[in-house]
């Protein structure tokens, strides 16, 4: 499949107000960094540039290829070694993976694969999750489905969140992609004056989120404060997952 992305530059201002309207469908390749300037790759160099959350032991490894077999549908199969794919350990349960660098307002592209029934997430700023889940074929979607902005956890219950507009999920064992436009929270005099905002989330070529304000960290976030810049986190402790082609650039 080929995804549709922007053909012209997107204009974002650091001081812009949260009422952006981004084009829904545009012509382009699946890999936006091939046709647009300013992207840099966060993966592809082993685990260089990444560390385990809270410096816990972890079993993430790189691989050249990853497979999913119907005979063992709840697992991924990969051989550790040099490669551009990152896999969350042989058992699919390990510590979360965090970038060394901190990011602010960013446009992010990431590809991922999960087996049947698995669960993971991409945390912008380590705090705000775009959910990864095996939602293939589901008719009714919730805030725990793939492409959702996950809910917060307050008073021992889920609060808020944003379910995906449509079910864009592919079958287990297929590579899938998120293309995210994210605006960091704003601060003045040490006080937050504007919440973080997902300007747009495109999942496998379909818009699933647009102009979603996040008033605080979502469930299972890093124990860090909201700030103008923070790291990216890949969830590794909820089930088998593989990542590749993780690219970012500042909002322009």
Supply angle C-alpha 229, 51, 144, rounded to 5. Answer: 70
pLDDT tens-place string over residues 164-223: 999 999 999 999 999 999 999 999 999 999 999 999 999 999 999 999 999 999 999 999
Domain count, the chain: 1
Say if 117 falls within a structural domain: yes
CATH code, domain carrying 206: 2.60.120.560
Say if 208 falls within a structural domain: yes
Say if 69 falls within a structural domain: no
Taken as a whole, the chain contains a residue count of 252
Q: Which residues pair with 248 in a beta bridge?
A: 40, 108
Say if 146 falls within a structural domain: yes
Say if 160 falls within a structural domain: yes
Dist CA 206 CA 204 (whole Å): 6
pTM of the predicted protein model: 0.86
- Domain containing 157 equals 32-44+98-250
pLDDT tens-place string over residues 127-140: 999 999 999 999 99
pLDDT tens-place string over residues 109-165: 999 999 999 999 999 999 999 999 999 999 999 999 999 999 999 988 988 999 999
Say if 73 falls within a structural domain: no
Q: Residue 73: which residues within 8 A CB-CB, separation 6 or more? A: 115, 116, 117, 172
Say if 53 falls within a structural domain: no
């Amino acid at each position: 499949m080929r995804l549709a992305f922007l053909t012209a530059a997107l204009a974002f201002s650091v001081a812009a107000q949260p009422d952006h309207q981004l084009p829904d469908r545009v012509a382009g390749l699946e890999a936006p960094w091939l046709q647009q300037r300013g992207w840099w790759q966060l993966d592809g160099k082993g685990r260089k540039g990444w560390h385990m959350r809270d410096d816990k032991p972890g079993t993430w490894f790189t691989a050249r290829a990853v497979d999913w077999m119907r005979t063992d549908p709840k697992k991924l199969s990969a051989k550790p070694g040099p490669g551009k794919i990152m896999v969350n350990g042989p058992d699919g349960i390990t510590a979360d993976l965090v970038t060394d660098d901190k990011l602010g307002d960013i446009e992010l592209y990431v590809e991922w694969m999960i087996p049947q029934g698995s669960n993971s997430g991409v945390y912008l700023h380590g705090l705000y999750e775009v959910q990864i889940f095996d939602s293939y074929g589901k008719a009714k979607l919730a805030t725990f489905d793939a492409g959702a902005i996950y809910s917060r956890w307050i008073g021992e219950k889920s609060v808020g969140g944003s379910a995906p507009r449509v079910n864009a999920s592919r079958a287990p064992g297929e590579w899938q992609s998120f293309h995210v436009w994210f605006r960091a929270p704003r601060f003045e005099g040490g006080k937050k004056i504007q919440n973080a905002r997902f300007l747009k989330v495109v999942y496998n070529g379909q818009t699933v989120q647009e102009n979603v304000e996040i008033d605080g960290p979502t469930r299972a976030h890093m124990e860090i404060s909201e700030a103008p810049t923070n790291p990216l986190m890949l969830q590794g402790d909820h089930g088998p997952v593989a990542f590749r082609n993780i690219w970012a650039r500042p909002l322009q």
